[in-house]
A and B are shown apart, each in its own frame.
Chain A
């Protein structure tokens, strides 16, 4: 039994997420119309995605491939699947049914690893088609009170994968981490551009609470219209507090779909779609089953790129850092570079620090790993001070070139340890009283005095000495 995380004293939060990802295929799920965002309304349409009488769907092979790739990345079982029709009336749905996968989805029973090493179960990840878009006019532009609506079917039929998690999530931060991680996986796989602001990745949250220790789940509400990762956390927290407040006064939430109102920071009851749960699913007779072979699955597995969790694990192993501390470098896509640099002999920890702190975070790295390794090696060997190393790196980033040559040109010639010791001895000799004090001082006092001596050495060497090396010499002399 894992430790219970209390959302509020005595209450546990239970969250399951449904994430819709539009697949980045060239064409729609069931027809050859362009799958692109931002065109003039109703220009990427044909008889099939408009649901014209007599039209028929044909499955996009790439969409199936992408869905299986995502499924395997989420460690799902890929099974024979069957498309089904989900029947309900809505004007953005050209056929007034949605083609989706119901009881035989492509992917089932997977899991997703969060950066903190915990896992969230994946119930299923199935293929389906997107709806068109409605915009509302009159009223305040919202669906409530609008006098009429306009429908654009460019998005109708765009392939989606819906990833349904188990109700394993216990905090709003975990929910955000889950969405963030899923987004990174999808991007790593190249199956979606996963832009929440453009709607190519959409999150619905199923939220409920229960008293700590209660084994059963309580009534949940489905929160839709969440448009950013930040809102995922806000919406869940708002909704959980709403439930607790209701229970506190002896009431209960009703099971319903609610909408996140970003502006007012609250959820609102959605349309109580009449008979909305009677979707009359049945197998789509216009399509035939998809039956992937073991070879298909092996081929997909072999072609999977390294995923964020594995990248974090690899970097943590190499550098000895905690998995959480390598996240930044992995997220920036700089981890392969670190691995290469360390591979040619540079110190792993120092490399990680330099890459994380001193390389531009938003750009791909153009430096040769060998040059960067050379720089780190020089610094580690004390041939360059930290300050000098940064200056050399800046020059390398600006104009390229070999770190040794740059250091030489800048006059950062290696200060041999013998030369440094001679300088230190000179300073000691010039300040006998301070030195006597230093030798007998406790750690705290010595730290203070150490600053004085180091400053003197730096002045004498015009900053070319390495601070750490100075401290070492001082300590050695004092111990004599």
Chain B
């Protein structure tokens, strides 16, 4: 049985925010850290349960082999697709520089 890891730290929260592409202010870090720690501490009550040999459930239904036939269905109109985009050029989605992004 696995022991619960050490409580989530301010640095952990900052790291997780980076992974999730969220930018937190110092105040937000101060606020979120104890809140997340409290939820995770509550989650630690599952410590009391013996889950040795229990098969994890990823999905509530025992469905198998759901596949579709390989037949083309109409795509959607490009104008409608691009109308929703914040920035468009030459029928494509335009984004700022992709590399040079290691912060």
Contacts and interface: CB of A to CB of B under 8 A. Distances in A.
A and B touch in the complex (CB under 8 A): yes
Contact of A275 (B18, B64, B65, B81): B18
Contact of B72 (A33, A63, A144, A291): A33
Which interface residue of A31, A135, A147, A151 has the most chain B CB atoms within 10 A? A151
Nearest to A30: B68
Contact of B76 (A45, A274, A283): A45
Given A59-B68, A62-B70, A42 B82 contact: yes
Interface in A40-67: 40-47, 50, 58-64
Given A33-B73, A89-B21, A146 B67 contact: no
A291 B64 contact: yes
B18 A91 contact: no
B67 A43 contact: no
A350 interface: no
A187 interface: no
Contact of B98 (A26, A45, A62, A143): A143
Contact of B95 (A25, A60, A144, A149): A149
A32 B73 contact: yes
A362 interface: no
B99 interface: yes
B62 to A, nearest CB: 9
Contacts of B81: 42, 45, 50
B76 A150 contact: no
Interface residues on B, range: 35 or more
A135 B71 CA distance: 30
Nearest to A44: B75
B97 interface: yes
A58 B70 CA distance: 11
B68 A61 contact: yes
Interface string A118-142: 0000000000000000111010000
Contacts of A285: 58-59
Contacts of B58: 82, 282-283, 285
A41 B21 CA distance: 28
A416 B67 CA distance: 70
A328 interface: no
B102 A149 contact: no
A272 B99 CA distance: 10
A46 B76 contact: yes
A63 B67 CA distance: 10
B71 A146 contact: no
A47 B66 contact: no
Contact of A34 (B15, B68, B75, B103): B75
Contact of B66 (A25, A59, A134): A59
B60 to A, nearest CB: 10
B92 interface: yes
Nearest to A42: B78
Contacts of A89: 21
Contact of B69 (A42, A61, A287): A61
Contact of B94 (A143, A150, A289): A150
A243 B59 CA distance: 46
A136 B98 contact: yes
Given A32-B71, A45-B76, A150 B64 contact: no
Interface of B: 15, 18-19, 21, 58-59, 61, 63-76, 78, 81-82, 89-103
25 contacts: A26-B72, A27-B71, A27-B72, A32-B74, A34-B72, A43-B75, A45-B76, A46-B73, A58-B66, A61-B68, A61-B69, A89-B21, A138-B97, A144-B100, A145-B100, A147-B96, A148-B94, A148-B95, A150-B89, A150-B93, A150-B94, A152-B92, A288-B65, A289-B64, A291-B64
Given A145-B99, A151-B94, A274-B102, 14 more contacts: A27-B72, A33-B73, A34-B72, A58-B67, A60-B70, A90-B98, A134-B98, A147-B96, A148-B95, A275-B19, A289-B64, A290-B65, A290-B67, A291-B64
The 7 A-B pairs at the shortest CB distance, nearest first, are namely A32-B73, A61-B67, A62-B70, A150-B92, A283-B58, A288-B63, A151-B93
